[in-house]
Structure 1
Amino acid sequence: MQETVDTPQAAPAPAAEPNRRAGAAAFRPSLARRARRALAPLPWLAPALALIAFVVLWPVWEMFQTSRQHINSYGFNLGDYGWKNYSTLFADPNLGSVMVRTVLWVFAIVAITVLISLGLAQLLNRGFPGRKLVRWALIAPWAASVMMTAIVFRWMLDPNNGVVNVFLHQIGVVHDYNGSQASWLGDPTAALWWMIAVAVFVSVPFTTYALLAGLTSIPADVYEAARMDGAGKWRTYRAITFPLLRPALLVAVLINLMNVFNSFPIIWTMTGGGPDYQTSTSTVYMYALKQFNIGESGALSVVNFGVVILIVLVFLRANRSALKEG
């Protein structure tokens, strides 16, 4: 009996095309689900995004557009001006001294404010009679209008009958009310330091409360463990308090940097940026330029905005480094 040997035949090709179609069909619903999941928070975020677009992005765009326009002192737009407003700004003989003064203004106020606030926060974090009253009293300079505070200090420094000069006259420091010795706001150097003092006076309450919130969040058992290990007060502060206080300190410094850099009411109310722009910071000088050259003022506003963005980026970098170390 002969056996029939079946010749092996090639296996049928796999149904690649149907599988590909099935995979694409499965991918499309998956992609659609992911898109729906990603867009699900949009109705809740839309009001905030619209507010950011209207309050931040649109004014920034208009500011940039203004910096490239030729606008005369009467406010008439004479057309595109290219980058000439920027070249005019950087050739301005007052710009160098204004920017140096701005750096001094920001650094001095923030540094003095943080140093004072660190001490006050440590004090208010301890128990003592009348602590609640002191805490409430500390809010007063922060709650009051900045312009109102500046007006009060301007009256106090009046060369004729201000409280400061009356007191200095009574103790024999100031002998002539009408002399240059009594004109605190007429001398650029004295005026600048008086305005720095007012800015510190206004900034200390918020910074103190921000640092106080950071101090109260530090667990007490950490200090107890340090005492059991024999750590002294300075070592405890340096090794425990300050590192754990760093996040609150960074937030306080950032907010102070932006507030002080953009500060306008104190300087404008007390000196108007004068005499001869010698007490102007970049924000005040930007406003003063608006009266003569709106395009150059717009260019300086773009520069100021860039500085604020740089401050925020530096803060984010410092905050990320602090979190990694923590």
Structure 2
Amino acid sequence: MTQQVAAAPASSPEGAGAPRRRRRRGGRRGHLHPAVALLWLAPALSLIVGVVLFPAYKLFEASRGEFSITGLRRGDAGWRNYEQVLSHPMFTTVLWNTVVWVVAVVAITIVISLALAQLLVKDFPGRRIARWALIVPWAASVIITSQLFVLLYDYNFGMLNHLLKSLGLIDTSIDFLGSDAWIMPSMVAVGVFVSLPFTTFVFIAGLAAIPDDILEAATVDGASAWQRYRTVILPLLRPALMIAIVLNSIYVFNNFPIIYTLNDRNPGFGNDTLITFMYKLAFQSQERDVGMSAATGVINVLLILVVVLIYLRIVNWREETR
């Protein structure tokens, strides 16, 4: 009799259905209502629309417009602005300058930063001071840094020419900012100087994440220092290396202050990149064509997107985010 009474609640419909109702309520608890989810995403979506999508739309709209010399829109130009930019007599030179500028700065920065990172992860007296000193070019304004190098490169009073003469390396001053043979290397040197801090600290973080037992195992197996670096350290630094390459490429590609500050004394577009070419088309050329400048801006955006897509293809982002 007691066993029958105890078994009754377990076999009743109400007792059997209660756990199922609890499971259904628990399942619904894991999902947000679409309106609630949209409310949480509203600030981020507003920021994306206001800072990214709307300016991109206005840039594309301006690239298909015809403007007066004062910047007033006079009508629709269709694709004529793009045709004028692509057929501009200096566009090929500017595009080549952009490629040389980005590739040279990024490549030299990566090589030097790898060496600096290897040094700064070692334990030696004054390491903290050395790391702090490395941050200074990153913390300073790019405009101020560029103007400082203008003074260092000066033909008549620059410290660099004075130092080279004192060492007996040159007899006459070098026109670092006025000679076509020297202006690009001079700008690349400033670009590398400004890019070193970020890239070096990215590699320091990557090196710190490598387990010591892996390096010890390679040493026990008889690997030399170069073999450990080539077969162990570099493959494990691949994520940090890819981040440094892509972010530096985007940053250097869009760098306006260095090119404009060091190259402002030279007429024409012979030493410009796309970013300064775009600015001069709107404000300093004879045409002062806002539409052509906007079309150049759209081309800049498309080139950056190509770099990002190449990066995503290399790192196989779809497989990593599954």
Tell me the TM-score normalized by structure 2: 0.85
Q: Counterpart in 2 of 1:244?
A: 236
Whether 2:185 is the aligned partner of 1:187: answer no
Q: Which amino acid is 2:248 matched to?
A: N
- C-alpha separation in 1, matches of 2:159 and 2:307: 38
Q: Map of 1:215-294 to 2, 5 A cutoff?
A: 215-272=207-264, 274-291=266-283, 292-294=288-290
Q: What do the CA deviations read for 1:230-264 (whole angstroms, capped 9, x no partner)?
A: 22222212221111110011111111000000010
User: What is the Cα deviation at residue 213 of structure 1?
Assistant: 0.3
Q: Counterpart in 1 of 2:123?
A: 127
Q: Counterpart in 2 of 1:104?
A: 100
Structure 1 residues 227, 173: CA separation in 2 closer, same or farther (over 3 Å shift)? closer
Q: 1:205 aligns with which of 190, 197, 203?
A: 197
Q: What do the CA deviations read for 1:59-117 (whole angstroms, capped 9, x no partner)?
A: 00000000000112221211011101111111100000000110000000000000000
Q: Which amino acid is 2:91 matched to?
A: L
- C-alpha separation in 2, matches of 1:226 and 1:69: 62
Corresponding residue SS for 2:155:
coil
Whether 2:164 is the aligned partner of 1:168: answer yes
Corresponding residue SS for 2:42:
helix
Q: Counterpart in 2 of 1:142?
A: 138
- C-alpha separation in 1, matches of 2:201 and 2:315: 20
Q: Is the Cα–Cα contact under 8 Å of residues 72 and 78 in structure 1 kept in the other structure?
A: yes
- C-alpha separation in 2, matches of 1:235 and 1:243: 12
Q: 2:309 aligns with which of 302, 306, 313?
A: 313
- C-alpha separation in 1, matches of 2:238 and 2:265: 35
Corresponding residue SS for 1:93:
coil
* 5+ long unaligned stretches in structure 2: 1-27
- C-alpha separation in 2, matches of 1:273 and 1:100: 20
- Higher deviation after alignment, 46-55 or 254-263: 46-55
- C-alpha separation in 2, matches of 1:219 and 1:173: 46
Structure 1 residues 270, 137: CA separation in 2 closer, same or farther (over 3 Å shift)? same
Q: Counterpart in 1 of 2:293?
A: 297
Q: Which amino acid is 1:142 matched to?
A: W
- C-alpha separation in 2, matches of 1:223 and 1:175: 50
Which has the greater radius of gyration?
1
Whether 2:90 is the aligned partner of 1:94: answer yes
Corresponding residue SS for 1:188:
coil
User: What is the Cα deviation at residue 120 of structure 1?
Assistant: 0.7
- C-alpha separation in 1, matches of 2:264 and 2:282: 14
Q: Which amino acid is 2:291 matched to?
A: G
User: What is the Cα deviation at residue 188 of structure 1?
Assistant: 2.1
Q: Give the CA RMSD over aligned residues.
A: 2.1
Q: 1:50 aligns with which of 26, 46, 50?
A: 46
- C-alpha separation in 1, matches of 2:220 and 2:169: 53
User: What is the Cα deviation at residue 212 of structure 1?
Assistant: 0.6
Structure 1 residues 39, 188: CA separation in 2 closer, same or farther (over 3 Å shift)? farther
Whether 2:196 is the aligned partner of 1:196: answer no
Q: Which amino acid is 1:156 matched to?
A: L
Q: What do the CA deviations read for 1:156-207 (whole angstroms, capped 9, x no partner)?
A: 111121111222333444545xxxx432211122011111000000001100
Structure 1 residues 52, 164: CA separation in 2 closer, same or farther (over 3 Å shift)? same
Q: 1:156 aligns with which of 152, 157, 165?
A: 152
- C-alpha separation in 2, matches of 1:189 and 1:182: 10
Structure 1 residues 323, 220: CA separation in 2 closer, same or farther (over 3 Å shift)? farther
- C-alpha separation in 1, matches of 2:120 and 2:38: 43
Q: Which amino acid is 1:269 matched to?
A: T
- C-alpha separation in 2, matches of 1:129 and 1:170: 32
Structure 1 residues 221, 290: CA separation in 2 closer, same or farther (over 3 Å shift)? same
- C-alpha separation in 2, matches of 1:67 and 1:313: 24
Tell me the TM-score normalized by structure 1: 0.84
- Higher deviation after alignment, 265-274 or 63-72: 265-274
Q: Counterpart in 1 of 2:8?
A: none
- C-alpha separation in 2, matches of 1:57 and 1:168: 50
